Structure 1
Amino acid sequence: MNRHRNSLGPDWVERAEPIEGVERIEAYFHGKAYAMHRHDTYAIGRTLAGVQSFNYRRERCDSLPGHTIVLHPDEPHDGQAGTREGFQYRMIYVQPSLFQDVLGGSALPFLEGGLTTDPRLSAATGALLQQMSHTLEPLEQNDALTELVHALAAITSTGKIAPVGDYRAARRAREFLHAHCSRTVALEELETATGRDRWSLSRDFRHFYGTSPYRYLTMRRLDAVRRMLLAGTALSHAAAAAGFADQSHMTRHFTRAFGMTPGAWQRVARG
């Protein structure tokens, strides 16, 4: 389905067929799109039309067509139209674990300001920011992600920063949390699974994956909730199946992570 900018028309979000670790969307919003929120993935995108405005690290950013947006994991941000005509954009959400598959334990790249016109990054995001109707083959996605990580590391000089912390322990923790995300995980379990004390592990996990172990666990539960909502599952049933205490508990976390309530997200995602 091809959609085009529709001045003051209904908001919509078109989602590509997901591939593990990467979510791709194209969307149109007028007015306020998202309240302040944060998620544990990189958000990398391009404005197609209009002015895409957002607050990020205490600054107002205005992205114009051709700009590349790079928001670091777990950094609060919002989103709204900079003009009354609204804005259209494409965005990919990439789990930091895929960055680490390329970096192998180096620090995650951080782009100051969240916006760039650097042609290296524009070229590196070309394949990943294609129309939603284009299904990325696994090898195509892998090559594109590798190019993206290298370009972002070069632009931010991340490759010059010496690795610190225990990457193997952090990776084992991520794998354990991923496998047990629908239940409560005790700190002692993570210590046993990784051979690392909880304080060092928490520091290393944030360094390599951009968020805390608990936030990572919560986000995987929210990913499960979104899949169930798209399949038509009731909110209360989705919350319970994903491991939340109740629907209100899930809704609070959902809104903080995605900037809108589950019901509002469901309406836009289906629109």
Structure 2
Amino acid sequence: MERMEARFHGNGFLPHRHDTYALGLTMHGVQTFRYRGSPRFSQPGNVIVLHPDEVHDGAAGTDVGLIYRMIYLPPTLVAEAFDHRTALPFVADPVVSDPALRHALADLLADLDEQPDDLLIDDALARIAAALGRQAGVVRGKVQPVARLAVLAARDYLDVQVATNVTSADLERVTQLDRYELARHFRRLLGTSPHRYLVMRRLDRGKEMLVSGSSLADAALGSGFSDQAHFTRHFRNAFGLPPGRWLNLQRNF
């Protein structure tokens, strides 16, 4: 679970996508972005709900600039709140007015300098999951226990093998599902594909290495990418800015 605050004028982020839910509160100004082919706008009091793997950008909608706070919530946490028994809730409208959801997010985003304690996190996540399910309407069909266990086994395997070359045959061996069936169930339960899940875990490791002082080249190789250019391309596609700029923002925060 990652939390952040952004402040800028004009265009902030190029089109990109996350493998997490991106849930945010507009604090000041007008937040504008393109999502699922349409322009969207959020003002203070609104909640932004971006589903995993959906392309979006970000900009300030007026000359006064923009301040917003976001939490990037791994789909596994939402799935755990539903006991991994349903597909992930999909909220069609990315800008909603939901006081219960806003208050739950505010509890987690109130103080970015302090890590919330476990009890607060668990309570807020339960309220967030309930609100997402409510906003999505009827939660989509149940995932069968065998498929659920297979997806979780694939996820755990990818977490461990993040820097190695994982093949579809490897995942078939681990899960006992064919690659196409696994891909369908993986996306229903975790909101993304096995390939993209692995890429994002590699990017997470790369970010950790950069923050720890590694060079871009070392971070690329140490996180499983073939070279620095490969790492930079995936980083920009995932986060909307190159790793060097991202690292500068972390240092200045």
TM-score grouping bracket, smaller chain normalisation: over 0.9
Distance 2:138 2:87 in 1: 7
Matched residues, number? 249
Contact 1:105–1:163 under 8 Å retained in 2? yes
Question: What code does the residue aligned with 1:143 have?
Answer: D
Alpha-carbon distance in 1 for matches of 2:69, 2:36: 22
Alignment partner, residue 89 of structure 1: 68
Partner of 1:240: 221
Q: 1:158 to 1:126 in 2, by over 3 A?
A: farther
Q: Is the 8 A contact 1:46 1:67 kept in 2?
A: yes
Q: Percent identity?
A: 45
CA contact (8 A) 1:35 1:259 kept: yes
Which residue is 2:21 aligned to? 42
1:153 corresponding residue in structure 2: 133
3-state SS of 1:200 partner: helix
What per-residue deviation string (whole Å, max 9, x for no partner) do you get for residues 150-178 of structure 1?
Answer: 1210221244x321451111111111101
String of CA shifts for 1:234-271, please: whole Å, max 9, x gaps: 10000010010000010110010000111111122222
Q: What's the offset of the Cα at 1:106? A: 0.7
Kept after mapping to 1: 8 A contact 2:163/2:222 = yes
Aligned mate of 2:78, from 83, 96, 99 = 99
Q: Deviations over 1:157-209 (max 9, x none)?
A: 244x3214511111111111011111111211111111111110011101111
- The TM-score with structure 2 as length reference comes to 0.95
**What is the distance in 2 between the residues matched to 1:128 and 1:206?**
27
Unaligned ranges ≥5, structure 1:
1-21
Find out whether 1:59 has 2:66 as its counterpart.
Answer: no
Match in the other structure for 1:18: none
Deviation per residue, 1:122-163 (Å, 9 max, x gap): 22323122121232112221121111101210221244x321
**CA deviation after TM superposition for structure 1 residue 113, in Å:** 2.1
| Distance in 1, Cα, partners of 2:130 & 2:149 | 21
Whole-angstrom CA distance in 2 between matches of 1:118 and 1:264:
34
Q: Does 1:216 align with 2:184?
A: no
Contact 1:124 1:151 in 2 (8 A): no
Kindly indicate whether residue 47 of structure 2 is the aligned counterpart of residue 68 of structure 1: yes
Q: What is the letter of the counterpart of residue 181 of structure 1?
A: V
User: Structure 2, unaligned stretches of length 5 or more?
Assistant: none
Contact map agreement 1:107 1:158 (CA 8 A) in 2: no
Q: Is the 8 A contact 2:2 2:71 kept in 1?
A: yes
Partner deviation per Cα, 1:22-64 (whole Å, 9 max, x = no partner): 0011121111110000110000010110111111011111111
Instruction: Measure, in 1, the Cα distance between the counterparts of 2:126 and 2:100.
Output: 13
Of 162-171 and 238-247, the range deviating more from structure 2: 162-171
Opposite residue 96 of structure 2, the aligned amino acid is: T
CA RMSD in angstroms, aligned pairs only? 1.2
* Distance across 2 between alignment mates of 1:158 and 1:98: 19
